[in-house]
Structure 1
Amino acid sequence: MVLEGTVLVGREFEPVEGRVVVEDGTIARIERDDVDSDDIILPAFVNAHTHIGDSIAKDAGAGLSLDELVAPPDGLKHRLLRDADRSELVAAMHRSLRYMRQGGTGAFVEFREGGVEGVEAIRDALEGVDIEPVVLGRETVEAMEAADGFGASGARDGDFSRERNATRTAGKLFGIHAGERDAMDINPALDLDPDFLVHMVHAEELHFERVEERGTPIVVCPRSNLVTKVGFPPVGDMLERTTVALGTDNVMLNSPSMFREMAFTMKLSDDRVTAPDVLRMATVAGADLAGLNCGCIEPDRDARLLVLDGDSDNLSGYRDPVRAVVRRASVSDVKRVTRPGEFDGDSGGT
């Protein structure tokens, strides 16, 4: 299989006119050449933090505080999840996952409420949707064992030492919310030696020193943070210290669109944050923290790729393809989202 156009190559997203050659679901090589295509080819997005179960309650809870909306066990979302019919929940999650896929997302990292049953429900919701899941169970060790790891609500909600130790023993991923409301739960979260942190809106210098020393990645969700009025994450400070990935957080609060998240992050961040920074946050940074072999166009990576129409009414006339992708592109510009399985047995021909 061959995809032609302007290819955004490597971690720096160097624009290369030419083609991507895919063999058996893997990027075999990138060839420079004059081609007759206006397409822009980039890695499919990795949405590094989602709560897809919230799909049953889109835009519920107007005017409520963060705790009233999402704090366990009795925040609005948790009450709605407990009361939801399973078939309704699965159908709603399926539609959100399908929308994510249509919008260029090739993989996502989900904090899945509901214990083992919640993990099983999202597995059912994924049926027929070609998107790579990393599902982190919540509430119990059993949920972690049924999933790809454990997603902790936050150190202020309890002691997660048992869950952390069990997750480490199982060799799985452990993530935790921290620094969303204030800075009080950041050090306790770091004491657990997590594989990554989520939010860190209120991180201070001493926390960044610990993050940098340990190399702990951070996932930021700027639209969610402003909706809940907790502030805007210090993305520039984070990028100077560690790997930063991008997530859309609760479907209750925002659509799971990485295009919207990138544009919002880019336009509200300071001048230290560049378009390539934000595109890395939306692709390879999330892939790296989740242990996925996608998120970057280079040989031997999985061929989870996104093809945009560079001659759409929206993108026609762009001067910088990376800035155009980050600041301007939308779901309507998507021509194709590839997955490795569709190339099985392909020898590389057109």
Structure 2
Amino acid sequence: MEYTGTILRGREFEPVEGRLVVDGEGQIEAIEEVSVESTDIIVPAFVNAHTHIGDSIAKEAGRGLSLVELVAPPDGLKHRLLREADREELVSAMRRSLGFMQRSGTAACLDFREGDIAGVEMLDEAAADLDVEAFAFARGSIDAMRAGDGFGASGANDDAFDRERAATREAGKPFGIHAGEVDATDIDPALDLEPDFLVHMVHPESDHLERVSEQEVPIVVCPRSNLVTDVGLPPFEELAERTTLALGTDNVMLNSPSMFREMEFVAKLSSLPADEILRMATVHGAELVDRNYGALEPGREARFTVLDGDSDNLAGARDPVRAIVRRAGVDDVREVVLGV
């Protein structure tokens, strides 16, 4: 298969006019610089590096509640609603959120999966007929982690998580943990666990920033969620100076799982350059789960989105990377290619 237009090549997203060739096994075979008539823009598919899609059953519930009242286990509104919902309702709602992700150019999501082993199984069922990869970072037990793709800890103030961390190492699976969302008190104990990545880091202090740099711990930021729950915003620039950042949309209860919207928020609330934000939304997330996509290069898996560069929204854009990060949306998507 061949796709033509402006191809955002490599990790630097160099705009190349030409042809992208996909082989029969779903790998990028070549990127050829040639003159083409197409005005399409070809961009790597997104990786949503932090989601909670189980609460797709409760979109926009809980107006006016605090973060603790909304999502804190075991009695936050989210957890009460999850307990009340039946399996069919939960799977159907998750499937619809995953379907939206796929249509909007998302190749994968890293879901912190409530519900123990049953929760992992429900996510697998929800994703079974879709091309988007749903990674289950299980919560609840070590057995759930073994059934899933890793462990997603709620926070070091909730429990010690030493056993779970040791078990993920033994299983060769990644361990992620929320840290610094409400305040800084759980950051040091989270870093003591030597996690594979942290989520949020809204409130790091100078010593935490140094530890993050020394330990080379990637961080997933979720700015729309942080605004909705009124906990503040992470210090994007300071974090980016010290480690790799990825991007997530967090709870579907609070936000649509749109990486276009998440990128726009970061772009307009920080001084990070557009190419760095696009890396946060693509290849940096893919690297958290050791996937060979997120950048358009020969030999990588063909997971990308074809945008209509002549849409009413994108026509006339002078800088395609900046336009994708700051203004593109699902209405500009012409086609999503996710492997074979």
The answer for unaligned runs of 5 or more in structure 2 is none
Rounded to whole Å, the distance in 1 between the matches of 2:199 and 2:293 is 21
Give the partner amino acid of 1:247. G
What's 1:313 paired with?
A: 312
Deviations along 1:238-284, one digit per CA (max 9) or x if unpaired, are 11111000000000000000000000110011x3x000011000000
Rounded to whole Å, the distance in 1 between the matches of 2:118 and 2:293 is 29
Rounded to whole Å, the distance in 2 between the matches of 1:19 and 1:216 is 37
In structure 2, the residue corresponding to 1:155 is in which secondary structure? coil
Rounded to whole Å, the distance in 2 between the matches of 1:125 and 1:134 is 12
Which residues of 2 match residues 275-314 of structure 1 at below 5 A?
A: 275-314=274-313
Give the superposition deviation at 1:127.
Answer: 2.2
Rounded to whole Å, the distance in 2 between the matches of 1:83 and 1:166 is 31
What's 2:264 paired with?
A: 263
Give the superposition deviation at 1:299.
Answer: 1.4
Tell me, yes or no, if structure 1 residue 135 matches structure 2 residue 130: no
What's 1:5 paired with?
A: 5
The answer for unaligned runs of 5 or more in structure 1 is 342-350
Which residues of 2 match residues 147-158 of structure 1 at below 5 A?
A: 147-158=148-159
Which residues of 2 match residues 21-60 of structure 1 at below 5 A?
A: 21-23=21-23, 24-60=25-61
What's 1:162 paired with?
A: 163
What's 1:183 paired with?
A: 184
After TM superposition, what 4+ stretches of structure 1 lie above 3 angstroms from structure 2?
none
Give the superposition deviation at 1:214.
Answer: 1.2
Rounded to whole Å, the distance in 2 between the matches of 1:144 and 1:274 is 36
Tell me, yes or no, if structure 1 residue 337 matches structure 2 residue 336: yes
Deviations along 1:28-75, one digit per CA (max 9) or x if unpaired, are 121111001000001000000000101001011111110111111111
Q: TM-score, normalised by structure 1?
A: 0.96
In structure 2, the residue corresponding to 1:21 is in which secondary structure? strand
Give the partner amino acid of 2:302. A
Give the partner amino acid of 1:118. G
Count of matched residue pairs: 339
What's 1:73 paired with?
A: 74
Task: Give the percent of matched residue pairs that are identical in Structure 1 and Structure 2.
Answer: 66
In structure 2, the residue corresponding to 1:17 is in which secondary structure? strand
Deviations along 1:168-214, one digit per CA (max 9) or x if unpaired, are 10000100000000000000000000000000000111111111111
Give the partner amino acid of 1:204. E
Give the partner amino acid of 2:108. A
Give the superposition deviation at 1:133.
Answer: 2.0
In structure 2, the residue corresponding to 1:154 is in which secondary structure? coil
In structure 2, the residue corresponding to 1:157 is in which secondary structure? coil
Give the superposition deviation at 1:139.
Answer: 1.1
Deviations along 1:59-118, one digit per CA (max 9) or x if unpaired, are 111111101111111111111111111100000000000001111101111100000000
Contact 2:123–2:134 under 8 Å retained in 1: no
Deviations along 1:130-164, one digit per CA (max 9) or x if unpaired, are 10122111011111010001000000111100111
Give the partner amino acid of 2:12. E
Give the partner amino acid of 1:331. V
RMSD: 0.7
